Structure 1
Amino acid sequence: MARPSQLSPIAEFARRHDPDRFLCALFAPPERRDALFALIAYNHELARAREAAKTPLIALMRLQWWRDAVAQAAEGLPARRHEVAAPLHAAIAAGALDPADLLALADAREVEAEEEGMPTREAFAAYLRGTAGGFAVAAGRLLGAAPALLPALQRAGAAYGLAGVLRSVRSLAGQGRCLLPQDALDATGLTPAAVVQAPEAARPVLAALAGESLATLDETRTTLRPLGRLAVAAALPAVLARRDLRRLSRGKTVSLDPRSLGDRLAVTLAGFTGRI
């Protein structure tokens, strides 16, 4: 694995902005890592489109900028001047990243710009499959995962995405946002506005959603056993998802602070053994 002093600029960007996926990417084959770091960086830029925008319209414009950057790379046009767009362009031009996967990731983020939020569990699940799940599919395709395993990778990625949303409830509330599904909140008499005002009130909802996801994640992990060490990096976020969801299902708080030694060791063990 590369030492911090040996990191490329795009690897350093990924390490700084998405340390979870950066750690997982270190277990990818060396010749594929920079393309995976470019995917991580691209995903970060999409994820921050709404957070960095003052209005939903500006968020949609940011997403369109990235769609155009992907399309230009696919068409063989010059790369845009941007610290992420340039390495992303190179990965697309080299055939490492599928433009269709990248465009789908941008499309899935549009729901974050909608003022009404997530009306149902079904809409929430589709959002998770398209965002974190779509990332896992793109990463798996990049690392040569068998096509038959891509649906399981998507489910594993969605579980990681769910854990991320549940961990971020307080942070999102600070931005005046709530991504929890309305019908799940209805069961406890909450509204998105109430969660924004008092994030702790949503703890029973977080525990219920985490518990439901845990019930299916173990089955998904079993399905991914044939993945192999060359593509294991695409599934490693599921290791963190399982640990987070287990804590959340017990009503515990899982902060956005840097990962504990236990979390990092769990990923490292899975990365070296190829067992998720």
Structure 2
Amino acid sequence: MDAAAPDHYAICEAQLRERDRDVWLASLFAPHPARRHIHAVYAFAQECAEAPAKVSQPLLGEMRLRWWTDALSGPDSEAARAHPVADALLDTMRRFSLPLDELTALADAHVADLYDDQMPDVGTLEDYCRMTSAAPMRWAARILGAEPSPAMEDAGVALGLARVLRRPSGPLIPADLLAKHGATIHANAPPLRAALAELRDMALARYESARRAARGLAIGREALLPAALVPVYLERMTRKDYDPLRGLPEPSPLRRQWRLWRAARGVGL
């Protein structure tokens, strides 16, 4: 098979820079030969995550996500090779033997987002985070030549939980956690804040576990860098002006860049 068109990799980077600047900044610390492949896997993850916002009906979103699973699972097609992200991803998959089942599982996991159904329990939410946030970290680590590590899973779950808490339409809180605190997702009241605080503590505990595990990594630490911003976002929940029904406000770009720079040099995650 011919390699992906170079401009298709460039499109993946441009897309990531525009729509997920945190991940794009984190990727800059990866060695240059690996960087474009990391762009490809994260551009794919972004395409799947944004599917609900691009459709007017859930069925259309399911069709969009099904296109991805078909494109990755079937033989090369002109449609897949013409799509910049799909073309770059297919090339990256073959070069680094990325696991097809994990790639398709990521697309399938985002079907739940189309219906915005409440997750039944914390375990289900953590599984969702493993498929949607931890998996791209594992792929990035493989691209960097690193062996699998518990740090990837813990960092990915921490990042996924932080993303749930940052949702602009309000956090997606599991039903068992709401019931534990007697909270409702539609009322900005102390019970809801208590449920969110527990979810925040889970994310921070995962982050700390990842940080400890990362100390033993000889290579592949760059794959963990997107999770370095987890504490920066979650500390916004302690501010007096935090409104849980509106998601978390963005920290300043300068502060995020500074945090990533320190983490890339071994200060922090």
For Structure 1 versus Structure 2, the TM-score category normalised by the shorter chain is 0.7 to 0.9
**2:220 corresponding residue in structure 1:** 231
For structure 1, which segment, 211-220 or 155-164, has the greater mean C-alpha deviation from structure 2 after superposition?
211-220
Superposition CA RMSD, Å: 2.7
* CA deviation after TM superposition for structure 1 residue 20, in Å: 1.0
Contact 1:156 1:220 in 2 (8 A): yes
Give the drift of 1:10.
1.8
1:171-204 CA deviation, whole Å, 9 max, x = no partner? Answer: 224xxxx621112122343334x26xx6998433
CA contact (8 A) 2:237 2:248 kept: no
- Paired residue for 1:267, among 248, 252, 260? 260
TM-aligned CA deviation for residue 268 of structure 1? 0.9
- Mind listing any 5+ residue stretches in structure 2 that lack a counterpart? 1-8
In structure 2, the partner of 1:112 is 113
Residues 32 and 62 (structure 1 numbering): CA distance in 2 closer, same or farther, change over 3 Å? same
* Amino acid aligned to 1:172: S
What corresponds to 2:50 in structure 1? 48
Q: Distance in 2 between matches of 1:66 and 1:76?
A: 12
Once the two structures are superposed, residues 96-149 of structure 1 have per-residue CA deviations (whole angstroms, 9 ceiling, x without a partner) of 6443331221122232234532111111111111111222222222222212x1
Q: Secondary structure at the match of 1:145?
A: coil
Q: CA 1:275–1:255 in 2, change beyond 3 Å: closer, same or farther?
A: closer
* C-alpha distance in 2 between matches for 1:252 and 1:71: 47
Per the TM alignment, residue 71 of structure 1 is displaced from its structure 2 partner at its CA by 1.7
**How do 1:1-276 residues align onto structure 2 when only pairs under 5 Å count?**
8-72=10-74, 75-78=75-78, 79-95=80-96, 97-114=98-115, 116-147=117-148, 149=149, 151-168=150-167, 171-173=168-170, 179-192=172-185, 194=186, 202-228=192-218, 230-248=219-237, 253=242, 255-257=248-250, 259-273=252-266, 276=269
Letter in 1 for 2:157: A
Cα 1:88–1:165, aligned 2, differ >3 Å: closer, same or farther?
same
> CA 1:244–1:89 in 2, change beyond 3 Å: closer, same or farther?
same
CA distance in 2: counterparts of 1:10 and 1:157, whole angstroms: 21
Change (3 A) 1:208 1:45: same
**Quick one: structure 1 residues 60 and 99, their matched pair in 2 at CA, closer, same or farther if it must change by over 3 Å?**
same
Q: Gaps (5+ residues) in structure 1?
A: 1-6
Distance in 2 of aligned mates of 1:202 and 1:222? 31
Equivalence for 2:4? none
Supply the distance in 2 between the matched residues of 1:216 and 1:97 (Cα, whole angstroms).
25
SS of 1:146's equivalent in the other structure is coil
Residue 274 and residue 33 in structure 1: after superposition, are their counterparts in 2 closer, same or farther (change >3 A)? farther
User: TM-score scaled to structure 2, two decimals?
Assistant: 0.83
- Taking the aligned partners of 2:213 and 2:21, their CA distance within structure 1 comes to 26
Conserved in 1, the CA contact under 8 Å of 2:17 and 2:24? Answer: yes
Q: Which amino acid aligns with 2:125?
A: F
| Aligned partner letter, 1:166 | L
Distance change in 2, residues 1:153/1:199 (3 Å): farther
SS in 1 for 2:96: coil
Q: Structure 2 vs 1, CA of residues 95 and 54 (structure 1 numbering), >3 Å: closer, same or farther?
A: same
> Does the aligned pair in 1 maintain the 2:11–2:85 contact within 8 Å?
no
How big is each residue's C-alpha offset from its partner over 1:225-251, in whole Å with a ceiling of 9 and x where there is no partner? 1223x4222101221012223443677
